[in-house]
Structure 1
Amino acid sequence: MDSTMFKLRSHIDAIVTYLTPLLPLANCHMVEFLTEKHWERLLPRGLRETLDGMEMDTAVELFWSSCENNDCDKSELSRWVHAARSHCLAVNNQYCLSVGQFENRIKSWGGEMQPEIRVKDFMSSKKSYEVSTMSRLLSSLYHATGASCSVEAGGGRGHLFAAATLAYRLRCLTVDCDANTLASAEERGKVIQKQWHAIAKQVEDGREQNVPKPVGEGLHRFAKLFVTEDTDLAAVVKEKFPELEHDDARILLTGLHTCGNLGPSSLRIFASQPSTCAVLNVPCCYHLLTEELDSSLFDVFQINYGGEGERRGFPMSEHLRGYNLGRNARMLAAQSIDRVVAQRQLPAKSLLHRALLQELIKKHKPDFVLAEGRLKRVAAKTQDFVQYFKMADSILNLELFESLPASAMGNVDCQWKKMVLFYLIRLCLAQVVESLILLDRLLFLRENGYNNVFLVKLFDPVLSPRCHCIVAVK
């Protein structure tokens, strides 16, 4: 076993040892915060007792400080924050690269770094940032690997490839399973092409300047297709690009936020299909991954999720075979502690209101089943729990609001402190779960004999929380 494989396995084993006892906390549902006594049952005793003795504002400030490494405090709260962080992805090592280190890798493979092209129209500021960052690296990797076509799995609106073709003259195929989305993307691409000279700017030394007329007209095409690990991408590419019919297609498979199992399927395509010379994949929507769940996990949504015989989205590696996370833990992994800390975001009060309502329903209407989504718009229309309870009572026909005394609604302020702190403490596990998912994918590729395999911290996690990209080159 080579040193990188050994390091990966050791890193994964350390995360599993730390995370496994905490999976009930990661998999709990905040709706059941009061009914299932999460504060008492799921927090480590020492941490809970420390927080019980602190004012909410003091504890929250200590949390922010601990996350930013500014504190010298050795409290249970600081130890919790630092322990969680110690089990997350380490940057600047053998298998997790910065953008600069990735650029150097591309250069070592014979590629040249392309200038950044920034497009601010026709997409959100977040998407513009992601597209300008990724399309430049995509183009450089495309040429370094001798690719003849880049395929984006789950390309949606086609923003990435609209930029890649017009700015860098790449032959690109956007694949998506939704015909309406593809039709809209194709029309949007034509508009972007017409407006290109006005909306695109080349960035050099921090300064923006106009770009010449688009150079990749007609190189961006579309295919309606549901991508699985068995999809023959070479055949699809040759169908859409007849000029490649008699050539050996070399495909750079990419994806900007591939949802659920699409990310694992892309990696399995890379590992199994010789025509795929490289993969550049940014994952997303971990809650949509499939896994074989242990029924003992506190998973309130996903039991027997996924079709019979379907290969699971997690875990991918043989090393983790049989290990389960649970849907709520995977949903937690998509939350951004970086953004929460940077913007000092506390949870919405509606989170507590929903938990208080759940407690009242369980106590006074134990047989009532509340379908998910029925109270979706209530929070936006109410300012406190009394208003929330009244509106929810009317919508659900509970007939509780008028019959219960005010004292039955509990101590909202006391419960709010506990819920805020519980939310923040649980949020620390988000980065741990995501790290395990990403390292499992990396290990899968290593197990299949690929050595040019890396994670790249591609985006600023505050701007784009799913910031890591999986890169593999044959």
Structure 2
Amino acid sequence: MLSAEYSLTEIQRRIDEVQRFLSVTLSIANAHTVEFYTHDAWNRFMAVPPQQVLSTVGSCSDQQGEPEHKANELEQTGTTFGFCNDTNRLVDTRELFQAAKAHSLPGLGVCMSRDELLQVLRGSGPESGAPVAAIDAELVTDDFMNSKKSHEVKSMSEVVACLAQRCRVKQVIDVGSGKGYLSSFLSLQYGLRVYGIDSSSTNTHGAQERNRKMKKFSRAYRKHNKAVMAQGEATLSPQEELVDVKPGLDGDDDVVYGVGTVSQEEEALIGLSDVNPAVERHSESNPDTEELFLSALSVDVIQPASPRVPSSQLSAEERERRKRENLERKAQNRSAGASVMFSPLTSYVTAETELRELINELEDAVMVGLHTCGDLAPSTLRMFVAKPELAAVCSVGCCYHLLSEEFEPAAGQECSRGLCGFPLSQYLRDRSWFCGRNARMSACLALERVSHGQGIQMESLFYRAVLHVILRDHYGCFKSEKRVGNVYSKANSFVDYVRRALRRLELDESKLSDDDVQDYHDTYRPRMGEMHAFNMLKVTLAPCIEGLILLDRLCYLKEQGDLSFSALVQLFDPLLSPRCYAVVGLKS
């Protein structure tokens, strides 16, 4: 066992602590916001006014240090984590918020920092203390990615390169590679042979074209950097070098990029950026260079992604087409020689995927995943454990609401085969533990962002909850999952919102006059604070639910007998990238 690693027994003890906390509080996270008024959620769970909850949120977020909890004190006060032992309603908000902080991953103290992980890997590698070797000059990711993606790619790629060096391998498999940012950077910056696998052919085609243009920029950037270092003075900028490359209409570099105009595709890319302006960090990058690469990297931004369909459900024609495309891409790579370091492949990946059928040249490799959605993250860990050619793994998951749960009452039949995303560890499977979809949805909330002023869009949630009251009163029983679509953004008032929603649901509008609709709004408007406070409770519980999901994944790795190292690592700044934790493992 390497240093700074927690044992299986210690991880199981932390799981026990979080389980005990969630057994008392999980019902709040599972309360459906749509049913907030129809099920009278506030009075069911709360014995305090909403103002007290909101004021406690502010005061607790300003406190420093980790809270302490003693079981005997909880018993003496007649409460458990702030809930009355007799009524199961919340009576002490401060006790709840302090307990939530104590049962989050930072409070449990089980995570390593990125710097600690790098120190462990370098300190125990074949060349103790040796830094990871990059190819020539360092690429400046801010020149062709937004600040969130740049932060993620740069932080994770150095860790992956260290894992590859530690395991003495040169190949990386990027599962759910998407648009290929991480794959391209790993190949261009660290000289690793990267296979990017994504279920969307649109993504893999775009990633291949994007990588070609990034290679072109890489050559120009390094040429510029060498010239500056050699001459000690400014020469042509990287984008000027790039614009100057134009060997011919039939050549690989036949596109000349101009600077100074913004296309509709570029505007779409800017609009689809997943960085919130409230937390966007200013970079020192040249705006001309940034505009140039918005153009270069927006190949497929306005094209819809293909649905994630297992290969067993594809038509024979589609399977043959994908196989042909992958073979053609491999042939192109072989003919191009060793300079081609990134190969995008189209395939739906599960824990049972045979990697050698996808990658003929497969050697020992590191498997990575950056924000792999739903079940793909646990499938990545299952593949790592099952396949001897995978020497290490670095997996950052997201979209917990898309996880399948083996023991959830509404789980599908595929979960009966033990291939669900949660729980992954035998320790939690033996307990038949499940969270519930609404709780997993709550786990996606970003406490750090909300704490720094990026509040929840309360009015749209309020409109939807009051609409549900109207549907109950005038249209009979109505399931909360019934979707009304993106109606709020188009409506100019609550009455307009309800009219649009009723038309979307194909219900008779004539049952209600405008005055009737407005009366519902006016009746519930004074209770909007209850919904705000209740959702702040959900935000506070989010890190604890996420923590249990991630501890389960770490516990799964700890249960394996052939791993030399496994840990949870905070790779990213949670303000920039709320899903900031990676599960890292190395085989013996």
Could you say which TM-score interval applies, normalised by the shorter chain?
0.7 to 0.9
* Residue number among 31, 35, 44 corresponding to 1:28 in the alignment: 31
2:179·2:207 contact (CA, 8 Å) conserved in 1?
yes
1:91·1:97 contact (CA, 8 Å) conserved in 2?
no
* Residue number among 315, 319, 335 corresponding to 2:423 in the alignment: 315
The reply to whether residue 381 of structure 1 matches residue 490 of structure 2 is: yes
In structure 1, stretches of 5+ residues that fail to align are: 203-208, 296-301
Instruction: Report the counterpart of residue 99 of structure 2 in structure 1.
Output: 83
Instruction: Report the counterpart of residue 473 of structure 1 in structure 2.
Output: 586
The reply to whether residue 38 of structure 1 matches residue 32 of structure 2 is: no
The 1-side partners of 2:101 and 2:504 are apart by 43
Counting only pairs closer than 5 Å after superposition, residues 63-82 of structure 1 correspond to structure 2 as 63-69=57-63, 76-82=92-98
Cα distance change, pair 428–198 in 1 and its aligned pair in 2 (3 A): farther
The 1-side partners of 2:402 and 2:114 are apart by 28
* Residue number among 513, 525, 538 corresponding to 1:413 in the alignment: 525
Query: Structure 1 vs Structure 2: percent identity of aligned residues?
Result: 31
The 2-side partners of 1:31 and 1:423 are apart by 12
Q: Which structure: larger Rg?
A: 2
* Residue number among 263, 274, 278 corresponding to 2:392 in the alignment: 278
* Residue number among 222, 225, 231 corresponding to 2:353 in the alignment: 231
The reply to whether residue 254 of structure 1 matches residue 368 of structure 2 is: yes
Cα deviation, residue 452, structure 1: 0.5
Cα deviation, residue 99, structure 1: 1.2
The 2-side partners of 1:429 and 1:199 are apart by 46
Provide, for residues 276-331 of structure 1, a one-character-per-residue CA deviation record: whole Å limited to 9, x for no partner. 11001111111121112443xxxxxx543646525111111111111111111112
TM superposition score normalised by structure 1: 0.85
Instruction: Report the counterpart of residue 333 of structure 1 in structure 2.
Output: 443
Cα deviation, residue 21, structure 1: 2.8
Cα deviation, residue 332, structure 1: 1.4
1:25·1:42 contact (CA, 8 Å) conserved in 2?
yes
Instruction: Report the counterpart of residue 434 of structure 1 in structure 2.
Output: 546
Aligned AA (2:182): L
Cα distance change, pair 312–369 in 1 and its aligned pair in 2 (3 A): closer
Instruction: Report the counterpart of residue 162 of structure 1 in structure 2.
Output: 184
Cα distance change, pair 308–292 in 1 and its aligned pair in 2 (3 A): closer
Instruction: Report the counterpart of residue 7 of structure 1 in structure 2.
Output: 10
Provide, for residues 380-406 of structure 1, a one-character-per-residue CA deviation record: whole Å limited to 9, x for no partner. 123542332233344444324417534
1:107·1:113 contact (CA, 8 Å) conserved in 2?
yes
* Residue number among 113, 116, 121 corresponding to 2:131 in the alignment: 113
Cα distance change, pair 303–103 in 1 and its aligned pair in 2 (3 A): closer
Aligned AA (1:229): A
In structure 2, stretches of 5+ residues that fail to align are: 68-81, 83-90, 226-233, 243-337
Provide, for residues 145-193 of structure 1, a one-character-per-residue CA deviation record: whole Å limited to 9, x for no partner. 1113100111111110101111110111001122222111111111111
Cα deviation, residue 423, structure 1: 0.3
Partner of 2:452, secondary structure, is helix
Cα deviation, residue 139, structure 1: 1.3
Instruction: Report the counterpart of residue 412 of structure 2 in structure 1.
Output: 304
Cα deviation, residue 92, structure 1: 9.5
Query: Which segment is superposed worse, 59-68 or 102-111?
Result: 59-68
1:149·1:252 contact (CA, 8 Å) conserved in 2?
yes
* Residue number among 130, 145, 148 corresponding to 1:126 in the alignment: 148
TM superposition score normalised by structure 2: 0.69
Please provide the CA RMSD for this pair.
Answer: 3.0
Cα deviation, residue 122, structure 1: 4.3
Instruction: Report the counterpart of residue 402 of structure 1 in structure 2.
Output: 513
Cα distance change, pair 360–199 in 1 and its aligned pair in 2 (3 A): farther
Counting only pairs closer than 5 Å after superposition, residues 355-374 of structure 1 correspond to structure 2 as 355-367=465-477, 372-373=482-483
1:193·1:217 contact (CA, 8 Å) conserved in 2?
no
Aligned AA (1:417): G
1:458·1:468 contact (CA, 8 Å) conserved in 2?
yes
Partner of 1:411, secondary structure, is helix
Partner of 2:427, secondary structure, is coil
Q: How many correspondences in the alignment? A: 440
1:117·1:132 contact (CA, 8 Å) conserved in 2?
no
The reply to whether residue 457 of structure 1 matches residue 570 of structure 2 is: yes
Partner of 2:105, secondary structure, is coil
The 1-side partners of 2:554 and 2:391 are apart by 16
